[in-house]
Amino acid sequence: MKGKVYLVGSGPGGLGLLTQRARQVIDQADVVLYDQLPGEEVLATLPEKAEKIDCGKFGGTHTLEQETIEALMIKKAKEGKRVVRLKGGDPFLFGRGGEELEVLREHNIPVELVSGVTSALAVPGAVGIPLTHRKYASQVTIITGHEEPGKPISGLDWENLAKNPGTLVILMGVKNIPVITQNLVSHGKDSETPVAIIERGLRPDQRVTAGTLRTIADLVKLRGVRPPAIIVIGDVVKLYREDGPGLVPF
């Protein structure tokens, strides 16, 4: 008997944006290897009968190393189990889902991708910020603001990013916001460009901090902004309203 691994995205938070396919495979899982990013509401619904393994990975803290997680998935699948690897948002957008797919393929383990609603799109949306708008932005760039040891974020093409007229969305960028804003401005981006940071989007304690490239790093410090948070930079942020019309979190 051969098992199968499901790389499952849980969406940005809460049960509202968990897909029906995700619900189905989670409910039928023998083993669930979960990150913390899916959030309490989703994690509270993991099936009682399933073996549940906390892989951690939240704001840089790793409970289990990536290699250990991959080895566990392989081992459980080879035992013939239905293994769910549960991640926040979509597994293939900064979720290391691509790496896991490669390893599973190497071991000839059947894999199914269950796409999730990415936070990059849904979290700004939840506070009334569309990533594109005919008046403000015709393109979107999504980058990571996370600095890997030995791989500085200066590895990003800042000149290009600063010139880019569209919306810039940054995941994992809270810690590096001073470097990010500095890099953009020093490469020519207008320091009055609007910026919004949404912490814990679509969760009960969601919070938005809005400013400009010039002010945002200080605001982050002042308000103690913490991950997980999405940073949106560009004129679409002008559409943000504190009481966003018709935008009631579910």
**By the criterion CB under 6 A, which residues form the site for ligand SAH?**
12-13, 37, 87-90, 93-95, 118-120, 123, 171-172, 198, 200-203, 227-230
> Which residue among 75, 172, 189, 235 is the active-site one?
172
Judge whether 57 counts as a catalytic residue. Answer: yes
Q: What is the dihedral of CA 5, 228, 231, 225, to 10 degrees?
A: -170
Judge whether 1 counts as a catalytic residue. Answer: no
User: 3-class SS at 163?
Assistant: helix
Minimum Å distance from CB 97 to ligand SAH?
8
> Which residue among 2, 57, 75, 205 is the active-site one?
57
Q: In one letter, which amino acid is 207?
A: R
Query: Shortest Cβ contact with ligand SAH: which residue?
Result: 89
Conformational region of residue 238, where left means phi above 0, alpha means psi within -120 to 50, and beta covers everything else: alpha
Minimum Å distance from CB 181 to ligand SAH?
16
Closest C-alpha to 217, from 156, 187, 175, 159: 175
Judge whether 163 counts as a catalytic residue. Answer: no
Helix, strand, coil percentages, rounded to 5, for the chain: 30, 25, 45
Nearer to ligand SAH, 69 or 171 (CB): 171
Minimum Å distance from CB 39 to ligand SAH?
7
Nearer to ligand SAH, 118 or 193 (CB): 118
Tell me the sheet residues that pair with 153: none
Active site residue ranges = 35, 57, 172
